[in-house]
Chains A and B, each alone.
Chain A
Amino acid sequence: MARRQRGPARRNDKPVGYGVPALLAIGLHVLVVILSVITLPQRQPVESDSSSIVQATLVSTETTTDQAQRAEEARARAAARQAEEEARQEEEARQAEEQARAEAERQAAEEQARQAEQEQAAREEEAHRREAREAAEAEAQRRAEEADRLARQREEQEAERQRQQEAAAEAERQRQQEAQRRAEEEARRQQEAEEQRQREAEEQRRREEEAQRQREAEEQRRREEEAQRQREAEEQRRREEEAQRQREAEEQRRREEEAQRQREAEEQRRREEEARRAAEAASQGLDRAIEGESDAVANARQAQEAANSFINLVRRAVEQAWVIPPGASSGLSATVQVQLGPSGELFGATISQSSGDNSFDRSAIQAVEAAAPFNELRQLPPAAQRDFRQFNLRFTPGDVR
């Protein structure tokens, strides 16, 4: 400044002062500050949005492609269930067979054991009987000796009389021996009869057991057949019900679509009519039509915003609950299908597209389970609620912090 004032103005020789450069520099800084203040707040939401790691995509329940997919899924599920059922039946049959075989074996073993026991018992009885016979013989001998002794004593005491009565004694002895023999005979016969009876009883029991076994086997077979039949009937009924349900759902969807189309057409027609009327009518009519139009647009936008906010909310909740397994590489991606109840409680979370890494899939499911329930579903408009009962969440580690 000082130099400029000192030198008189002449051609190019006026020295360059500092006033203009200072003004320019300050102006430049003010401009930079203004730019940073104005543009940064607008850019910030975009930046924060890009840091999301879970991309939630809504799977609409109305699209036809999804229907096909779901039918496919249902068919696949039914086939899987059927295969499972068959496998189970086979398994059961095999098990029953094995059981029967084991039973038979056990029975045979028992039979053998019983027979062995019986033989043992028979042997023992025989031994008893032999002992008894021997004892009886010994007894008889002793008695005979006794009788002999008595006879001899008597003979000695009354030799005369004895001799006279010898014949009688002889007869007596003979009678006694006879009786003894008869008793022995009798005993033997009785034993034989006993044995015979026992054998018969044995036989009888065996027969009865056989019959019993057969009856049981028969019974078992009948029961199994019955169960088999019931299961088949059950299966058949379930399949039919499934098909019926699918048909009904299909029907319902078609009706809804139809209704939706009709409504839309109605709406369209009404709007067109309105527009036409408005065009024909005075400018205030036009204004009113525009107002209604913008109202409808605003409502639609509001619903859209609510839906977006719900999806964002779910995404944020799941993101926060997600513990990414330490070994997961950033290239992994898993899609989880989430089914919600009417008030936002979690009905089921299943992997619809696996990442190939089990722990990663599990962590995704756990994140959804930890983030549930999503009570905000109730705050949505009823029409949107139905759409959000089922949606897909895609998990990608992306920019993991």
Chain B
Amino acid sequence: MNDSMSIPHLIMSASTVVQLVMLILVIGSILSWVVIFQRTFVMRRARAAHQTFEERFWSGVDLNELYRETPSEQETQGAEHVFRAGFREFNRLMAKTKSADAILDGVQRSMRVAWSREEERLTMHLVFLATVASASPYIGLFGTVWGIMGSFQSLSMAQQATLATVAPWIAEALIATAMGLFAAIPAVIFYNRLSSESDRLLGKYEDFAEEFHSILHRNLQGRSETGAA
């Protein structure tokens, strides 16, 4: 009994459709866990990077120096990316126009682009998690229904309908649902967690962008006043 009712044996003896469903669910579960781990690492690293960058930014260092510290071909992330995009645009526009409003508009636009790139980077693959979370219970349910259909078909062939003839079929069919839930539950939990974390990070980037914008604005204001005088 133990041998015939063990889970590997049940999976091996399942019908092709149910096996296919199980395969899909296993792949979905593995991929969702890959996403979960990868996103977790990305979030942790982004949080650490943001903290170090903010410390450095507010330490009173010269902005030109900070800008020059990282080579332009180096891909930067987070608030640093926003800062670089905004400062580069500021420097380029300063050489071409005297209008403070035009400069600030350009800086804001370029910072918004950088912010939206960051958003895309942070929320990448989270949609996949959401898909797995919502779809895998249904896929598992489909496998179960299919397996139970098969069990009743075999029951109609049997001479004697005992619990022992139906039980293995139902057990193997229920494995599909179990696997669907197994894939869905972590996906739901981590989707919520990761999306809230990315929202929080993006909020911080936005705050930083506003602060940087106000610094540039102050700078331009002072410059225009000295120019006028």
With A16-B45, A18-B38 as contacts: A40 and B7 at CB distance below 8 Å: yes
CB contact list, B38-84 vs A, under 8 A: 38, 41-42, 45, 48-49, 52, 74-77
- Cβ–Cβ contact A44 & B2, under 8 A: yes
Chain A positions 1 through 41: 1 when the CB is less than 8 Å from some CB of chain B, otherwise 0: 00000010010110111101110111011001000110011
Residue in A12, A20, A26 whose beta carbon sits within 8 Å of that of B49 in the complex: A12
Given A18-B38, A20-B37, A26-B30, A10-B74 contact (CB < 8 Å)? yes
A17 to B52, CA, bound (A): 22
A15: chain B residues within 8 A (beta carbon): 75
1/0 per residue, CB under 8 A from A, across B25-38: the answer is 01001111111111
Q: Which residue of B lies closest to A14 (CB)?
A: B45
Contact of A16 among B5, B8, B29, B41 (CB under 8 A): B41
Instruction: Give Cα A10 to B75, complex, Å.
Output: 11
8 closest A-B pairs (Cβ-Cβ)?
Answer: A21-B37, A25-B33, A21-B38, A16-B41, A25-B34, A21-B34, A16-B42, A12-B49
Which residues in chain A, 301-317, are within 8 Å of chain B measured between CB atoms?
none
8 example contacts (A-B, Cβ-Cβ < 8 A) are as follows: A12-B45, A13-B49, A15-B75, A17-B38, A21-B37, A22-B34, A24-B34, A36-B7
CB distance from B47 to the nearest CB of A (A): 10
Distance between B12 CB and nearest chain A CB, rounded to angstroms: 13
Q: How far is the CA of A28 from the CA of B45 in the complex (A)?
A: 22
CA distance A10 to B31 in the complex (A): 28
Question: Contacts A18-B34, A21-B35, A25-B30 known; A41 to B2 CB distance under 8 Å?
Answer: yes
> How far apart are the CA atoms of A15 and B49 in the complex, in Å?
12
Check A13 against B75 for contact (C-beta < 8 Å). Answer: yes
Judge if B6 is at the interface, Cβ distance under 8 Å: yes
Check A13 against B74 for contact (C-beta < 8 Å).
yes
Chain A residues with CB under 8 Å of chain B are 7, 10, 12-13, 15-18, 20-22, 24-26, 28-29, 32, 36-37, 40-41, 44
Q: Distance (Å) between the CB of B217 and the closest chain A CB?
A: 29
Contacts of A10 in B (CB 8 A): 74
**Shortest Cβ gap from A6 to chain B (Å):** 9
Q: Which residues of B contact A21 (CB under 8 A)?
A: 33-38, 41
Quick one: given A7-B75, A21-B41, A25-B34, are A41 and B6 in contact (CB under 8 Å)? Answer: yes
Complex contacts, A29 vs chain B, CB 8 Å: 26, 29-30, 33
In the complex, chain B residues whose CB is within 8 Å of the CB of A18: 34, 38
Additional A-B contacts beyond A13-B75, A18-B38 (17; CB < 8 A): A12-B49, A13-B77, A16-B38, A16-B45, A24-B37, A25-B30, A25-B33, A25-B37, A28-B33, A29-B30, A32-B182, A37-B6, A37-B7, A37-B8, A40-B6, A40-B7, A44-B5
- Alpha-carbon gap, A216 to B98, bound state (A): 155
Which single residue of chain A is at the shortest CB-CB distance from B29?
A29
Shortest CB distance B57–A (Å): 15
Given contacts A37-B7, A41-B2, contact A12 B30 (CB under 8 A): no
Q: Across the interface, which residues of A come within 8 angstroms of B30, CB to CB?
A: 22, 25-26, 29
Give the CA-CA distance A36 to B38 in the complex, in Å: 26
Q: Which of A13, A28, A44 contacts B76 (CB 8 A)?
A: A13
Give complex CA distance A10, B76 in Å. Answer: 11
A25 contacts across to B, CB distance below 8 A: 30-34, 36-37
